[in-house]
Homo-oligomer: A and B are copies of this chain.
């Protein structure tokens, strides 16, 4: 790849794969397929959503066809509701109709919804075919790395899934220019998360470059996504299947998921919900006796990026607590939380008293007397 492109490797032994981050990459898809020996005779399925299809599918398809690949497009409706078994069923049908065989490739072109959904198709079609991630949202720097793929069940998010690593991740920064500003901010929330769990210097750099990041300056954005993907890939390569370490990536997610569920999916974006969740985790840190500045700093940074750190007033704290009890991270009778120990590092606590959590959920409500 040429100079401007940043490259990373997710070290997973025989499943290791590269991440490329840069400009103008979509039009190089075919070239990369050929270089990496993807068989020309096996059709490719390009999965994307209606918004992204319109903007970027053709570039990818043209590039693949120019290199001799046959490609069929499968377009799903925009939004989280597409991560369902019935949409999955339709994609399996599309794969069959496109004649995909065991050597075929499924491409996810889009945000985390498309990545998770297409990834589950790739993981299960004929018991697993090649998979390529082409993230087009900032949030998807997270979802496209690490191999977690899933669909939702009516009763629980991401409950049906697999670990299925991509062959490569191709991150074309140009696509991010069309992202709605609210999606930009929400995506940056997961990037900050990677700093908060692993790298204080990166948090500092991030803080100092807020304006350039929010303005989608390609150099700043490329560096931030590179650093974010790097943290994710280091963690994943040490614990692919989330036996222990990988859980730290859930910082802010216990409260965050509960908020998403209670607000109704779509009301709060995932990145917004976890920003509030990270503010909550930072307050837990203080309860555990860590430096009170952790909580203040965390909130200050999120506010600087236009992200919420308060629970909307119309959300009922009881419902939030109840939703948390259903969360996967609620294990064998005790609450599990990822808790900061300083800016840039965290610990996994299995012993978080639920009344502390309750207290913090109350404090975080918009309009509650400031704690």
Contact = CB atoms under 8 A, between A and B. Distances in A.
Interface of A: 41-42, 85, 88-89, 92-93, 96, 101-102, 123-128, 148, 150, 153-156, 159-163, 241, 328, 331-333
A126 B96 contact: no
Contact of A161 (B124, B154, B241): B124
A125 B124 CA distance: 13
Given A85-B85, A148-B127, A150-B127, A160 B92 contact: yes
A128 B89 contact: no
SS of A interface (majority): mixed
Contacts of A124: 124, 160-162
Given A150-B127, A162-B124, A102 B156 contact: no
Given A126-B159, A160-B124, A162-B128, A153 B92 contact: yes
A161 B121 CA distance: 10
A89 B331 CA distance: 24
Contacts of A41: 332-333
8 contacts: A41-B333, A85-B88, A93-B155, A96-B155, A96-B156, A126-B161, A126-B328, A127-B241
A241 B124 CA distance: 13
Given A102-B328, A128-B163, 13 more contacts: A41-B333, A89-B153, A92-B153, A92-B159, A92-B160, A93-B153, A93-B154, A96-B155, A101-B328, A101-B332, A124-B162, A126-B161, A127-B148
Contact of A85 (B89, B128, B331): B89
Contacts of A93: 153-155
